[in-house]
């Protein structure tokens, strides 16, 4: 059968990439409205009524508004905004957190897609907190750099017109909108210090968490805990630090739905750095939405998603196998 999917906000960065991933599928029929009617509430509600699943690629306020308008409709929702990520009525769409989470996604009517920074941070933190290696009340710092596409149209225009610095930090007031989901799904009871930044590249992302080594936990224990969690994950790979040759390219997984995790550091100094590498528009946004959609439809969760499988033997700087 063909499932009817409506992307509300398909003209934006995330919406366009979701549409591109779904175009050409025999099992999905995209509902589209005339571009001149994209802001028409009546036209949008008609599309929601027709759809089996709607994907919201909207600002937070607009997402909350349309959810209020569609509560009595027989349509399942995937919200790519921040609006509902810690809402108790919504399922957080990170299937790699476990089979119980994947089952909840499969049956969800209301699903919130994770954010890009939080995807990397949660993937690193959740297994280590559950394993008791990181205590929930540990004060941590998280440092990250993203491609400018994560800032939406205005920031994209600034970079492409050369009107902004090639690198800047922002949101240092510790009010970044991803912090609540990082704490809730990462298992933390103390808010971490978060330092996000933007670089002069369109897409790609690195999330780093410095971690002191103590209580008998070494680098191998950190890596084993991550490997145990993601051993059978479709898109999350735990890779050796040596894979990167001392330098990690934030654009290295662009165009894929892959999330790479690695453990770096020196046991003699007692310092480790946990690293997550991903495409902020792939596993950090559009790719994750399509993965969740696939699970909700009961099809192969890798359908429409480019799966490049990095290998430990890949030479730094060389193309990844399958790309």
Q: Which of 57, 116, 308, 323 is catalytic?
A: 116
| 116 belongs to the catalytic site | yes
What is d(CA 132, CA 130) in angstroms, rounded to the nearest whole number?
A: 5
How long is the chain?
323
Q: How big is the chain by its Cα radius of gyration, in Å?
A: 19
- Which residues, 6+ apart, have CB-to-CB distance to 199 below 8 Å? 145, 146, 147, 148, 166, 167, 250
For residues 77 and 211, the answer to whether their CB atoms sit within 8 Å is no
Residue environment code for 297-318, b if the CB has 16+ CB neighbours within 10 A, otherwise e: beeebebbbeebebeeebeeee
Owner of token pair 């968490």: 209
For residues 122 and 283, the answer to whether their CB atoms sit within 8 Å is no
- In the DSSP assignment, the letter for residue 218 is -
- In the DSSP assignment, the letter for residue 299 is S
- In the DSSP assignment, the letter for residue 76 is E
For residues 310 and 249, the answer to whether their CB atoms sit within 8 Å is no
For residues 280 and 14, the answer to whether their CB atoms sit within 8 Å is no
- Which residues, 6+ apart, have CB-to-CB distance to 31 below 8 Å? 4, 5, 6, 47, 50, 51
| Catalytic residue positions, numbered | 116
């Amino acid at each position: 059968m063909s499932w009817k999917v409506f992307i509300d906000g398909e003209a934006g960065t995330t919406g366009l990439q979701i549409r591109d991933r779904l175009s050409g599928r025999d099992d999905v029929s995209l509902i589209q409205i005339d571009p001149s009617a994209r802001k028409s509430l009546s036209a949008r509600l008609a599309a929601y009524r027709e759809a089996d699943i709607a994907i919201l690629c909207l600002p937070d306020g607009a997402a909350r508004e349309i959810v209020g308008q569609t509560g009595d409709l027989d349509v399942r929702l995937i919200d790519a905004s921040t609006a509902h990520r810690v809402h108790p009525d919504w399922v957080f769409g990170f299937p790699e957190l476990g089979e119980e989470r994947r089952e909840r996604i499969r049956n969800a009517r209301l699903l919130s897609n994770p954010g890009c920074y939080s995807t990397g941070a949660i993937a690193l933190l959740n297994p280590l907190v559950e394993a008791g290696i990181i205590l929930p009340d540990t004060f941590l710092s998280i440092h990250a750099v993203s491609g400018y596409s994560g800032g939406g149209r205005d920031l994209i225009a600034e970079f492409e017109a050369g009107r902004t610095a090639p690198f800047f930090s922002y949101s240092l007031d510790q009010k970044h909108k991803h912090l609540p989901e990082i704490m809730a799904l990462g298992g933390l009871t103390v808010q971490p210090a978060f330092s996000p930044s933007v670089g002069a590249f369109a897409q790609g992302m690195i999330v780093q968490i410095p971690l002191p080594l103590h209580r008998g936990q070494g680098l191998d224990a950190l890596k084993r805990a991550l490997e145990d969690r993601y051993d059978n994950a479709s898109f999350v790979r735990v890779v050796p630090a040596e894979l990167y040759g001392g330098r990690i390219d934030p654009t290295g997984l662009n165009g894929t739905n892959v999330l790479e995790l690695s453990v770096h550091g020196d046991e003699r100094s007692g310092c480790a750095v946990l690293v997550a590498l991903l495409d902020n528009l792939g596993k950090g946004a559009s790719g994750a939405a399509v993965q969740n959609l696939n699970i909700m439809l009961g099809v192969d969760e890798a359908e429409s998603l480019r799966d490049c499988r990095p290998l430990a033997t890949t030479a730094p700087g060389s193309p990844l196998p399958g790309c």
